[in-house]
């Protein structure tokens, strides 16, 4: 399957260090060689890069690795194709406009013969992942004429995710530029870096950084990844069904999606 990486920070931050490790898994230290993409939010704007070539040898990836694009919310994906051929149209993250905001989505897992709910959002490519994204947006647009309060929105999104989780593996990242929503049904980890900052060493390439040289005492940066990217830091592992909503590097809301027998699903809110 694919690998995910996301970042939530309270100040505009680049992902050069973490991306340097992730890109190695795109065909060198890992089998995820069927394309990659990354989305950076900058205010109300969205800067996206996609390439159907292996990430570890992509000239575009080398630009991202070396050019410090700063953002508070980032979604990144390296692909190992299961559903849909290798093509630019099938490369995550996917993006659409909803309620005057750019929404982006990346998925790790596999859904079998998933058909999105009818509506104005339709897949361009042939992946089950894009079908899930379009289904969620169609459900949201049908349910709410305008953007609802955050807790009401998250309640609806997590209930939809409970239905997706019943149909296959569904690890995913979603953002509208204000927050980063994460769901784990099989494998996801996170680390929050804050003062006092220290050194970090990547697991997939010989590269280290001392974050205290690049941060202020008030910075808070959380990185989410399918598997830990560093070997000298303590990462936290998501529980199966766990979701977290990140904003400014902190967990704003969290809970557990519970799969139930029958058609219904229920949500147990977190702390």
2 carries an active-site annotation: yes
Sequence-ordered list of residues with C-beta below 8 angstroms from that of 36, at least 6 positions apart, any chain: 23, 26, 50, 51, 54, 55, 58, 61, 76, 77, 78, 79, 91
Pairing assessment for the beta strands 71-78 and 36-42 based on DSSP bridges: antiparallel
Residues 74-106: b if buried by 16+ CB within 10 A, e if exposed: bbbbbbbbebbeeeeebbbbbbbebeeebbbbb
What does residue 221 show for φ and ψ, rounded to 5 degrees? -135, 125
Sequence-ordered list of residues with C-beta below 8 angstroms from that of 268, at least 6 positions apart, any chain: 255, 256, 258
DSSP state of 168: B
Assigned token pair, 141? 């647009």
| Beta sheet of 180-183, edge-to-edge order | 94-98, 101-108, 171-175, 180-183, 242-247, 250-258, 266-269
Q: At what angle do helices 150-165 and 128-143 cross, to 10 degrees?
A: 140
Q: Which residues does the annotation mark as catalytic?
A: 2
């Amino acid at each position: 399957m694919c690998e995910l990486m996301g970042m939530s920070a309270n100040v505009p931050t680049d992902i050069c260090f973490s991306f340097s490790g992730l890109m190695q898994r795109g065909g060198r230290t890992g089998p995820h060689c069927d394309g990659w993409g990354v989305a950076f939010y900058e205010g109300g704007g969205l800067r996206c890069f996609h390439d159907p070539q292996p990430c570890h040898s992509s000239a575009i990836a080398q630009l991202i690795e070396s050019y410090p694009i700063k953002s508070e919310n980032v979604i990144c994906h390296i692909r190992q194709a299961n559903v849909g051929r290798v093509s630019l149209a099938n490369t995550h993250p996917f993006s659409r406009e909803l309620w005057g905001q750019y929404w982006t989505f990346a998925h790790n897992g596999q859904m079998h013969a998933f058909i999105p709910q009818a509506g104005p959002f339709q897949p361009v490519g042939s992946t089950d992942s894009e079908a899930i994204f379009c289904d969620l947006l169609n459900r949201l647009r049908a349910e709410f004429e305008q953007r609802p309060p955050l807790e009401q929105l998250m309640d609806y999104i997590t209930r939809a995710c409970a239905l997706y989780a019943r149909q296959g593996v569904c690890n995913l990242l979603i953002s509208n530029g204000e927050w980063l929503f994460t769901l784990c049904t099989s494998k996801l980890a996170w680390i929050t870096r804050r003062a006092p900052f220290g050194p970090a060493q990547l697991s997939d390439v010989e590269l280290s950084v001392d974050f205290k040289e690049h941060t202020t005492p008030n910075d808070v940066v959380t990185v989410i990844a399918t598997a830990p990217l560093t070997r000298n830091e303590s990462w936290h592992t998501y529980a199966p069904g766990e979701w977290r909503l990140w904003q400014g590097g902190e967990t704003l809301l969290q809970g557990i999606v519970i799969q139930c027998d029958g058609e219904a699903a229920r949500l147990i809110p977190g702390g």
